[in-house]
């Protein structure tokens, strides 16, 4: 017999920690995280958290901006929840110890792309996510009924009679255990590692999304992957994020000729929605011949009246390591995979289509972001819907069902198998970037699907002899997520938000003002529904 807990939370980002705080008031909570507490997409969020704290008019404007950015398919009820409950959740966070930047005793607010006015709160300039993660983790750790299983991978969900009753956990010593729970929350973040170029940390491999899908839960809007316009573009250097707040402070984008080019793409110029800016940079960076690229730069040399080093200490320190300075240099940039608008389909209370399983944060899809997330709404989403998921887990009051211990214990991979595994992952990531990134069409998506199926076959062979490891589980998750992205992108024969088809360049509201639902069925893996 495995161990038991009231509530199991997968992930220690903002959504998981906010839920854990709520759940701990009513039962024992186990938070499983693949590395140390705080190593999550939340920790790396630079830009800030968007919140309307100036009353009803401010909230209404935040709603309008969120809906406009989502390009026609934002689930309005979800967006209303986000902007209305956001101020309460942020005030709560401040009460619990989160220290946001202030000026003259007032919270400092800045503006980012597609926002109608300044409403972005920051902490330590460009370390907002780290501060939110720190404060939530500290507050959660005060609760004696919250335990953390660090360096632990959730490798499977146990389903009985249409309900998730337990999960299998693989620790850093390769020991497998099964934990039964009244309810399981997936708050394991996104899947940027599906792409070779990403701003996401190594842990963002889509594990929770893939596990939910394999257990039978529906996914939604998987074709909508947001590519952040401005990641560093230096040979051999990871795609470090250069925050949208840089453009909020007035940064220009310049092509290889030194020209500002955003006026050709959108009236808001550098503060246009992210999908527009990312595609503009991609097009400006294309050479005359196939495969040829040209440099695009971020330019802040003209900025006056702002101490850029103080305002962006983390970015300043990173650039200094590579001999660059915001005040002096043009900074080479290119888009990189950043945020998944889709995920596990949930209602407004975090319930998935599978009993006993809940989801919140980037792993979930309420439809709140539509086809293109408004900048800095992600941390707010984690706070608001992390709390909501916890409330529904408590309200549903599911009984604890004991699950038998696992029957099969995976054996570690041999060194040669590990090398083959990494080659398979690298090939999958490269194919997704080549065939399913910012500019898509049927022929490239089909090439991507063929590459994904080849990777899935190789991974199945590795797992067949009873082998298993954290990395193999991550690779299988990335393959499953890639499959959902590719099928969903093929099914949506239009361009909308972050999903752009060269062969269907126009928006088609008549047929596709709907959300895609990925079930993975062999005959019809994707359907479309109106929420």
* H-helix segments, 313-441: 313-321, 378-396, 415-435
Can you say how many angstroms the Cα of residue 219 is from the centroid of all Cα atoms in its chain? 14
pLDDT 10s digits, 508-530: 999 999 999 999 888 789 999 99
Asked whether residue 455 is assigned to any structural domain, the reply reads yes
More confident call, 167 vs 464: 167
pLDDT at res. 38: 63
Is the domain of 419 the same as that of 328?
no
Asked whether residue 105 is assigned to any structural domain, the reply reads no
CB of 112 closer than 8 Å to CB of 120: yes
pLDDT at 453 over 80: yes
pLDDT at 41 over 70: no
Among residues 89, 134, 182, 274, the one annotated as catalytic is: 274
Is the domain of 230 the same as that of 332?
yes
pLDDT at res. 474: 98
Residue 481 belongs to domain spanning: 415-529
Which of 491, 493, 515 lies closest to 502, judged by CA? 493
Is the domain of 236 the same as that of 323?
yes
Mean pLDDT is highest, among 28-37, 70-79, 232-241, for: 70-79
Q: Which residue(s) pair with 157 in the sheet?
A: 167
pLDDT band, very low/low/confident/very high, at 138 (cuts 50, 70, 90) = confident
pLDDT at res. 2: 66
pLDDT at 388 over 70: yes
pLDDT band, very low/low/confident/very high, at 143 (cuts 50, 70, 90) = confident
Asked whether residue 458 is assigned to any structural domain, the reply reads yes
Is the domain of 423 the same as that of 331?
no
CB of 126 closer than 8 Å to CB of 243: yes
pLDDT at res. 233: 94
Domain boundary among 337, 367, 397: 337
pLDDT 10s digits, 144-185: 899 999 999 999 999 999 999 999 999 999 999 999 999 999
Out of 26-40, 270-284, 442-456, least confident range: 26-40
pLDDT 10s digits, 301-313: 999 999 999 989 8
Q: Which residue(s) pair with 159 in the sheet?
A: 164
Number of domains in the chain: 2
Is the domain of 419 the same as that of 332?
no
Q: What is the mean predicted confidence (pLDDT) over 287-308? A: 89
- 355: helix, coil or strand? strand
Asked whether residue 170 is assigned to any structural domain, the reply reads no
CB of 219 closer than 8 Å to CB of 517: yes
Which of 140, 139, 172 lies closest to 155, judged by CA? 172
Domain boundary among 337, 360, 389: 337
CATH number for the domain spanning 494: value is: 1.20.58.100
Asked whether residue 362 is assigned to any structural domain, the reply reads no
Residues in the chain: 531
Asked whether residue 301 is assigned to any structural domain, the reply reads yes
Catalytic residue at 513? no
Asked whether residue 439 is assigned to any structural domain, the reply reads yes
pLDDT at res. 44: 59
Q: Contacts for 375-378 with beta carbons within 8 Å, 24 or more apart?
A: 375/47, 375/50, 375/112, 375/113, 375/114, 375/115, 375/120, 375/244, 375/274, 376/47, 376/48, 376/49, 376/50, 376/112, 376/115, 376/120, 376/244, 377/50, 377/66, 377/82, 378/45, 378/339
265 token code pair: 């793409």
More confident call, 37 vs 255: 255
Q: What is the mean predicted confidence (pLDDT) over 241-267? A: 93
Out of 32-46, 146-160, 220-234, 329-343, least confident range: 32-46
pLDDT at 95 over 60: yes
Out of 41-55, 328-342, 434-448, least confident range: 41-55
CATH number for the domain spanning 285: value is: 3.90.700.10
Out of 12-16, 47-51, 64-68, 339-343, least confident range: 47-51
469 token code pair: 């490891």
pLDDT band, very low/low/confident/very high, at 40 (cuts 50, 70, 90) = low
Which of 448, 437, 481, 42 lies closest to 228, judged by CA? 437
Q: What is the mean predicted confidence (pLDDT) over 90-104? A: 89
Domain boundary among 293, 322, 337: 337
pLDDT band, very low/low/confident/very high, at 288 (cuts 50, 70, 90) = confident
pLDDT at res. 524: 83
pLDDT band, very low/low/confident/very high, at 408 (cuts 50, 70, 90) = confident
pLDDT at res. 45: 57
Asked whether residue 445 is assigned to any structural domain, the reply reads yes
pLDDT band, very low/low/confident/very high, at 287 (cuts 50, 70, 90) = confident
pLDDT at res. 499: 97
């Amino acid at each position: 017999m495995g161990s038991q807990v009231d509530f199991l939370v997968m992930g220690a980002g903002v959504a998981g920690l906010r839920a854990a705080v709520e759940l701990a008031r009513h039962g024992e909570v186990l938070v499983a995280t693949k590395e140390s507490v705080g190593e999550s997409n939340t920790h790396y969020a630079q830009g800030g958290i968007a919140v309307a704290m100036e009353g009803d008019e401010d909230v209404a404007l935040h709603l309008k901006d969120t809906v406009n950015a989502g390009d026609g398919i934002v689930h309005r009820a979800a967006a209303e929840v986000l902007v209305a409950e956001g101020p309460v959740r942020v005030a709560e966070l401040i009460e619990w110890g989160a220290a946001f930047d202030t000026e003259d005793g007032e919270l400092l607010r800045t503006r980012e792309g597609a926002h109608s006015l300044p409403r972005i709160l920051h902490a330590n300039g460009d370390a907002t996510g780290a501060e939110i993660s720190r404060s939530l983790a500290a507050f959660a750790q005060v609760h004696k009924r919250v335990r953390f299983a660090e360096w632990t991978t959730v490798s499977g969900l146990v389903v009985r009679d249409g309900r998730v009753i337990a999960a299998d956990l693989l620790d850093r010593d390769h020991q497998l255990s099964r934990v039964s729970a009244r309810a399981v929350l997936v708050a394991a973040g996104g899947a940027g590692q599906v792409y070779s170029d990403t701003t996401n940390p190594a842990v963002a491999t889509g594990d929770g999304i893939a596990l939910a899908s394999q257990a039978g839960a529906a996914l939604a809007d998987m074709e909508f992957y947001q590519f952040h316009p401005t990641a560093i573009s230096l040979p051999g250097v990871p795609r470090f994020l250069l925050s949208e707040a840089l453009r909020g402070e007035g940064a220009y984008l310049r092509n290889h000729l030194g020209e500002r080019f955003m006026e050709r793409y959108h009236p808001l110029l550098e503060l246009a929605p992210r999908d527009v800016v990312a595609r503009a940079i991609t097009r400006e960076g294309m050479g005359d011949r196939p495969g040829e690229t040209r440099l695009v730069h971020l330019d802040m040399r003209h900025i006056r009246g702002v101490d850029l080093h103080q305002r962006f200490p983390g970015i300043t320190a990173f650039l200094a390591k590579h001999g660059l300075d915001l005040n002096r240099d043009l900074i080479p940039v290119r888009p990189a995979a950043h945020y998944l608008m889709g995920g596990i389909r949930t209602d407004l209370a975090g319930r998935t289509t599978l009993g006993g399983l809940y989801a919140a944060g980037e792993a979930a899809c309420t439809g709140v972001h539509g086809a293109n997330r408004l900048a800095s709404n992600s941390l707010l989403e984690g706070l608001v819907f992390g709390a909501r998921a916890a409330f529904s887990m408590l309200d549903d009051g599911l009984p604890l069902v004991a699950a038998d211990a696992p029957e099969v214990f995976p054996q570690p991979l041999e060194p040669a198998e590990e090398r083959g595994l990494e080659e398979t992952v690298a090939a999958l990531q490269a194919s997704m970037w080549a065939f399913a990134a910012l500019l898509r069409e049927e022929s490239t998506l089909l090439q991507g699907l063929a590459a994904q199926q080849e990777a899935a076959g190789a991974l199945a062979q590795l797992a067949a002899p009873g082998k298993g490891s954290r990395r193999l589980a991550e690779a299988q998750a990335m393959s499953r997520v890639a499959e959902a992205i590719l099928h969903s992108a093929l099914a949506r024969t239009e361009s909308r938000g972050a999903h752009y088809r060269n062969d269907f360049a126009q928006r088609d509201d008549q047929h596709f003002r709907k959300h895609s639902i990925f079930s993975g069925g062999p005959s019809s893996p994707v359907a479309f529904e109106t929420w």
